[in-house]
Each structure stands twice: as C-alpha cells, then as structure tokens.
Structure 1
C-alpha cells in the first residue's frame, strides 16, 4: 500500500510540474548562421560568449563583420564597486558590485537589428577587515558569476532577434 501511495504521489508531482509550463532550458537557436563578436581576443567575457555561441551547434563565429550575418558591437563594459553601509568606526562594511554591459547588434548593411541594450547586474558583498584576501577572492568569484549570467542573458537576447 505504501509503495502505491509513493508512486502515485510521484506521478501527481510530475504531472503538476509539467502542467505549470516548466521546461528545462534547451539549446539556443539563433535566427542567423554567423555572427561577428566585436570583442578583443583577451576578453574573458568575449571568450565565454563565443564558446557558448559555438556550442549551440548551428552558428559560426566570423572573423570579420563583413563575412557575418550580424555583428555584436560592444558599446560599453564597466565594473563598479559602491559602498552600501558603514560600521561604527566609519569603515565600509558592505559593498554593491555592479556590472554594466551595453551592446547592439547590426546586420551586414549596418542596420540595427537590436537597438543599444544595457544589461546591469548587481551583487552585494560584505566586507571584513580581518579577511581581506578572502573577500578579494569572493569579489572575483562574484564578478565571474555575473559574467556567466551576462553571457546567458546575451544569448537569450540574440535568440529572439527578428531578422528581416
């Protein structure tokens, strides 16, 4: 009897999850076959973005903008660190890390396919003077996490482009 109830509850949970519209994120399908990513070779963001685009399978990374269907142009990329709160001695206790990325997508004729778009990511980090090295490592880790999140957001925006 117990096995039947547990099996029935598992079936009910599976049906309810599928009925709510939940689906695993599948492969990204782009409306173009080649893209030029206007970022330096040394850029970690550019390398991760190109790797994710290549992994989609059907889209290639072009060597120059003329040979690509579209070009992703980076307009600005900034990292900021703002103080959120102070301790009783007037020293920073908490910071807000901000990663702003502004880009646009143009086709071969120079027409904007995606108007200039800003993606802004924010994370909060506490600070402790006795753990400076650990907090620096945590900050670097948070920026890498924001970079991965940024790449996924760019991929989703590229996937929904309307090509004419």
Structure 2
C-alpha cells in the first residue's frame, strides 16, 4: 500500500512537471539573467514588476547596458466610463479601464511594444464617499498586481 502511494506521488509530479505547471509567481525566466527597467520615477507598477523579477532571480541593473534586455514601462493609466445612473442623474456605476503600454528591447534588437487593458466595474455611492475612495484605491492596487503578473507571463513566453 505504501509503495502504491509513492508510485502515485511520483506519477503525479511527473505529470505536472511535463505539462509545464509552475507554482504561482515562479516563472521560467532563465533567459533573462539581468534586465534594466526604465519607468517614471516612483512608478508603483515598476516596483511590482521589479519585485517579481527579483523573486524569479533576475538581476536588476542600475543603468542600461546594451548586452542586457531593457523593459520600458511607457505608461499606465486609469480611465473610467459611466455604466449607469441613479434616477437623480448621479453616476451609480463606472467601468474602470486600466491601460498599460510597455516595450521590451532585447540586446542588439528593436523595441517590441505591447499594450493591454484590464477592466473592473465600480459602484459609486455619493453617501459613502470615504469608503468608496478606499475601495477605488484597493481596486487600483489589485489592477496593478494583475498588470505586473501579466507582464511577467509575457516575459516568460519570450525566448
């Protein structure tokens, strides 16, 4: 019976590793031993991407070197679009649109530009302004986390 358990565990681990499964946040970035990140000063998205790169054992360079890739975070913006109104004409619900544009320049290569959008619905209540402001901040932080994860997945796909 114990032997069957060991064989089952080995078979399961073999199956998971052969299908490309990785633990969340653990991406194969061995093709990027070092990288330079260019962004606006104090960019929260850049800080999140840098944290994830370091966690995946990518050395972050302090200045641009032509022998290493450069990740340029061009911009990240939050827009909102009205989805519905209260009977009195005040906005009841927004759609938040978080747009990210970035470029990756490989050594001796041309910059490859990427962009994507993330969407969230947000219900507004003028009677709960302070709570809704905090909720909006939390949503924006979550959108930045998802954007950083998406950039990392894109980097992991490149070879």
Q: What band does the TM-score fall into relative to the shorter chain?
A: 0.7 to 0.9
**38-47 or 149-158, which moves further after superposition?**
38-47
Taking only aligned residues, the RMSD between alpha carbons, in angstroms, comes to: 2.2
Q: d(CA) in 2 for partners of 1:61 and 1:40?
A: 16
Alpha-carbon contact 2:39-2:74 (below 8 Å) kept: no
**Structure 2 partner of 1:63:** 62
Where do 5+ consecutive residues of structure 1 fail to align?
1-10
Alpha-carbon contact 1:36-1:68 (below 8 Å) kept: no
**2:139 paired residue among 118, 138, 142:** 142
Alpha-carbon contact 1:62-1:68 (below 8 Å) kept: no
Q: d(CA) in 1 for partners of 2:20 and 2:155?
A: 22
Residue-by-residue CA offset, 1:9-45 (whole Å, 9 max, x unaligned)? xx9xxx8xx79x7955351121221111111341111
TM-score, reference length from structure 2: 0.80
Q: d(CA) in 2 for partners of 1:84 and 1:126?
A: 9
Alpha-carbon contact 2:27-2:56 (below 8 Å) kept: yes
Aligned with 1:66: secondary structure?
coil
